[in-house]
C-alpha cells in the first residue's frame, strides 16, 4: 500500500533550531510541541469529525462494503501532528490514519494510486498444508478504485483535500505559535 499523505510546513533552519533546542533547551522544545498540538487540535478535530460523520454516512448510503468487523473496515479517521526536523526543513507533520488500527480509511483515501503495474499472482507462502500456495489476481480492487474515483474524486479524496483547503489557516496557526515561541525564547536568552 502507498504511504500516507502528509502535509509538511517548511521552516528555515528547522533542523538546526530543533537540534539546538533538543541539546540545550529540551524543555523549550517540549513546550513548543505542546503549544503546536494544542493550537492545531481544534482544526484537526473539525476535519476528522467532518470525515467521520459526512463521509461515513455517504459511504454507507452508497453501499460501500466497508462496514464489517475485519481489519480493512471503515472505522473513521484520526489525525495526529508532530514537530519534527529534517534536512529538507520540515517542521510540522500532520498524519491521518484509520482509527483503532483499521485500514478502511487508508485504503479509501489512497485507492487508485498505482506506482507500478499490479502483480499477476500473489506472493506465495508455505503453510501447514503441503506445498507452496498463491492465488491469481482477477482485478480485485480495480472496481473499488474506479467507484471511489467516480464518487469522490482522485486519491487524497477525504483527508488530504480537507487539509489542503485549510492550508492557509494551518500555516497561520503554526506561524502564530512560532512567533509567540520566538518572543518567549528571546526573553529567556536576555
User: Which pLDDT score is estimated for 96?
Assistant: 94
- Rounded Cα distance, 105 and 51, in Å: 10
- Rounded Cα distance, 82 and 34, in Å: 10
User: Which pLDDT score is estimated for 108?
Assistant: 93
User: Which pLDDT score is estimated for 6?
Assistant: 53
**Which burial class, exposed, middle or buried, applies to 71 when counting CB atoms under 10 A from its CB (0-12, 13-18, 19+)?**
exposed
User: Which pLDDT score is estimated for 53?
Assistant: 94
- Rounded Cα distance, 149 and 138, in Å: 20
Total count of residues recorded for the chain: 190
Q: Nearest 5°: CA angle at 65, between 63 and 69? A: 135
- Asked if 146 and 31 touch (Cβ cutoff 8 Å), the reply is no
User: Which pLDDT score is estimated for 157?
Assistant: 94
**Residue 63 CB contacts under 8 Å (≥ 6 apart), including other chains:** none
Tens digit of each residue's pLDDT, the chain (190 residues): 445 555 555 566 667 777 777 888 888 888 888 998 899 999 999 999 999 999 999 999 998 888 888 998 999 999 998 877 666 666 778 899 999 999 999 999 999 887 777 778 888 888 777 778 887 877 778 888 899 999 999 999 999 999 999 988 988 888 888 888 774 444 444 3
Where would I find the beta strands (DSSP E) of 42-184?
77-83, 90-98, 125-126, 132-133
E strand or H helix that includes residue 6: strand 6-10
Nine cell digits for residue 52: 467521520
Amino acid at each position: 500500500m502507498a504511504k500516507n499523505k502528509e502535509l509538511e510546513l517548511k521552516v528555515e533552519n528547522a533542523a538546526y533550531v530543533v537540534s539546538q533546542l533538543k541539546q540545550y533547551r529540551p524543555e523549550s522544545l517540549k513546550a513548543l510541541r505542546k503549544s503546536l498540538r494544542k493550537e492545531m487540535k481544534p482544526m484537526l478535530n473539525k476535519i476528522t469529525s467532518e470525515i467521520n460523520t459526512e463521509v461515513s454516512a455517504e459511504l454507507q448510503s452508497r453501499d460501500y462494503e466497508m462496514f464489517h468487523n475485519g481489519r480493512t473496515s471503515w472505522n473513521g479517521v484520526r489525525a495526529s501532528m508532530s514537530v519534527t526536523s529534517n534536512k529538507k526543513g520540515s517542521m510540522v507533520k500532520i498524519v491521518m490514519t484509520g482509527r483503532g488500527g483499521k485500514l478502511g480509511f487508508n485504503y479509501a483515501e489512497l485507492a487508485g494510486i498505482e506506482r507500478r503495474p499490479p502483480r499477476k499472482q500473489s506472493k506465495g507462502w508455505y503453510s501447514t498444508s503441503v506445498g507452496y500456495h498463491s492465488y491469481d489476481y482477477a482485478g480485485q480492487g480495480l472496481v473499488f478504485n474506479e467507484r471511489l474515483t467516480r464518487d469522490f474524486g482522485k486519491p487524497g479524496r477525504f483527508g488530504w483535500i480537507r487539509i489542503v483547503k485549510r492550508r492557509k489557516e494551518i500555516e497561520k496557526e503554526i506561524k502564530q505559535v512560532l512567533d509567540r515561541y520566538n518572543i518567549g525564547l528571546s526573553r529567556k536568552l536576555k
